[in-house]
Amino acid sequence: MLLLKNARIIPMADNGEREFTGDIAVEDGRIFKLGPNLEYHDAEVIDLTGCTVTPGFIDAHCHIGMFEDGMGFEGDDGNEMSATSTPELRAVDAINPFDRCFEEAARGGVTTCVTGPGSANVVGGQFAAVKTHGRCVEDMILRAPVAMKAAFGENPKRVYADRKSIFTRMQIASLLRKTLTKAAEYEKKVRLADGDPAKLPEKDLDMEAMLPVIRRELPLKVHAHRADDILTALRIAREYGIRLTLDHCTEGYLIPDLIKEGVEATGAGVIIGPLLSDRSKIELRNQSFEAPRILYENGIEFAMMTDHPVIPEQYLPVCASIAVKEGLPEYEALKSITSNAARIVGIFDRVGSLEPGKDADIAVFAGDPLDVRTRCIMTVINGKVVHDERRA
């Protein structure tokens, strides 16, 4: 038993309790109990008087471990530009646990990253939710696959124009529809076969990977910056009855009413960012740190993302801080990198709040977690202290 005592705790749970001072008991990798004055006979006690404790932060969209630090093409394993639709690709086969960015992320209080393929392909492959500590990807996986990547807009056009396979947004939508239609047909055959080997279709790895998308078990994780691309994604989601998350959603704040309507109709999640970067292309020209506040004011729940390596992973809370500077309430900013991020990604059953039964992923701060000067002095992942710089 690990017992963190006397901290200011911000649990980010749904029960209305914003914060309290007390203890967290951790047992076998999970949170056992929260409350004042906890005592256990065999506990390792860590006194955190004066510290603030939050759930470990969650980055809802990034490419950590896949575009590796301090390398060029040798470490670039995020964009498989050999075909426009590659559902079978799995992030877990590219993640390098020895990328030092994982350690930097953990030292910054980021404990879960949703990482996966880039946006070159229309259907890019399977994202994974991983913890930021471990020596092999199997140790790090929280859930894999956690989403199927898809991309709209400039990136597929740019990459595939010289290969003469994509010239327009029409073709991107068409290629996505073709993949979804094929997957729906495949799913029907599998369903009708009802386990009878004689009736099952010949195994198709790409289509096997698409099955959970068609069955609404896995969201399509859609790269969409421009308002029209976002709406195309929502249109296709309605056509096929699939779940999706609107990632980047850069111009979403320009059409908040339409986003809200689309979210309510399809159950889509909104993940915004990376905001702390330049407007390097046309589809980013309306990028603004006011977006989080405007979405909040329109009653749209969202997560914030780094798109690491675009913004280094450990600066996820900095993005939340700047959003606060632009008028987003502090608690909403914290939600966007903890509970909302977990809920939108579909991992709130495991992480995103400090509640009994959840993974013991805990960030400890010497002061206000949203003050950019505050250090994360201790990080716990799966109940294990992986970073500790408390003064002796």
Partner 1 sequence: MKNGKYRLHPFTVYTYETVDSTNAVARRSVELLGASADMCVHAAGSQTDGRGRRGRTWLDTEGAVMMSIVQKTRLPMEKLPILNLVAAAAVRNALMRLVPGAELSVKWPNDVVTSDRYEKVCGILSEAVSSDGDRYAVIGIGLNLNAAQMPQGLLQPATSIFLATGKRVPLTDAINGILLEYDRQYRLLAEDPEAFLSRFAESCISLGRHVKVISADGTRYGVGEKLSPNGQLMVRYEDGVTGLVYAADVSVRSGSTVDEKLAKRLLPKRSPRSNKGDNGRAALIVGSPDMPGAALMSVKACVKAGAGLTRALIPPAIAPAFGAVPEAMLVQDDARAEELIAWADAVCIGCGMGVSDRTAALLEKVLKSKKPCVIDADALNTLSKHPELYALLHENALITPHPGEMGRLTGRSAAEVANDLSATAAAFASVHNCCVLLKSASSVIASPDGLLRYNDSGTPALAKGGSGDVLAGLVTSMAAQGASVPDAAALGAYLLGTSAEKAMELLADRFASATDIIDIVAFGLGINK
**DSSP E strand stretches across 132-254:** 141-151, 220-224, 244-248
Instruction: Please name the amino acid found at residue 212.
Output: P
Give the interface segment with partner 1, choosing from 10-18, 124-132, 151-159, 208-216 (CB under 8 A): 10-18
Give the interface segment with partner 1, choosing from 9-17, 222-230, 254-262, 370-378 (CB under 8 A): 9-17
* 49 binds partner 1 per the rule CB under 8 A: no
Instruction: Pick the binder of partner 1 from 6, 19, 33, 96 (CB under 8 A).
Output: 33
* 16 binds partner 1 per the rule CB under 8 A: no
Under 8 Å between Cβ of 57 and 304: no
* Least distance in angstroms from the C-beta of 316 to partner 1: 23
* 141 binds partner 1 per the rule CB under 8 A: no
From CA 287, how far away is CA 37, in angstroms rounded?
47
From CA 48, how far away is CA 390, in angstroms rounded?
9
* Least distance in angstroms from the C-beta of 148 to partner 1: 24
Residues in the chain: 392
What are the helix (H) ranges across 108-168?
Answer: 137-140, 154-161
From CA 332, how far away is CA 302, in angstroms rounded?
9
* 37 binds partner 1 per the rule CB under 8 A: no
* 82 binds partner 1 per the rule CB under 8 A: no
- Using the minimum distance from each CB to partner 1, give the nearer residue, 33 or 384: 33
**CA trace torsion 358, 56, 103, 112 (10° rounding):** 60
* 17 binds partner 1 per the rule CB under 8 A: no
Instruction: Pick the binder of partner 1 from 17, 18, 20, 28 (CB under 8 A).
Output: 28
* 157 binds partner 1 per the rule CB under 8 A: no
Phi and psi at 316, nearest 5°, equal: -55, -50
Under 8 Å between Cβ of 191 and 185: no
Instruction: Pick the binder of partner 1 from 88, 228, 326, 355 (CB under 8 A).
Output: 355
* 36 binds partner 1 per the rule CB under 8 A: no
Phi-psi region of 151 (alpha: psi -120 to 50; beta: other; left: phi over 0): beta
Give the interface segment with partner 1, choosing from 172-180, 228-236, 324-332, 353-361 (CB under 8 A): 353-361
* 139 binds partner 1 per the rule CB under 8 A: no
Closest CA to 322 of 272, 378, 286, 279: 272
Instruction: Please name the amino acid found at residue 271.
Output: I
Instruction: Pick the binder of partner 1 from 225, 248, 335, 358 (CB under 8 A).
Output: 358
Give the interface segment with partner 1, choosing from 27-35, 56-64, 307-315, 326-334 (CB under 8 A): 27-35
Instruction: Pick the binder of partner 1 from 356, 374, 384, 385 (CB under 8 A).
Output: 356
Closest CA to 190 of 177, 178, 199: 199
* 384 binds partner 1 per the rule CB under 8 A: no
Does the N-terminal peptide bond of residue 317 adopt cis geometry, omega within 30 degrees of 0?
Answer: no
Which residues contact partner 1 (rule: CB under 8 A)? 13-15, 27-28, 30, 32-33, 40-42, 349-350, 355-358
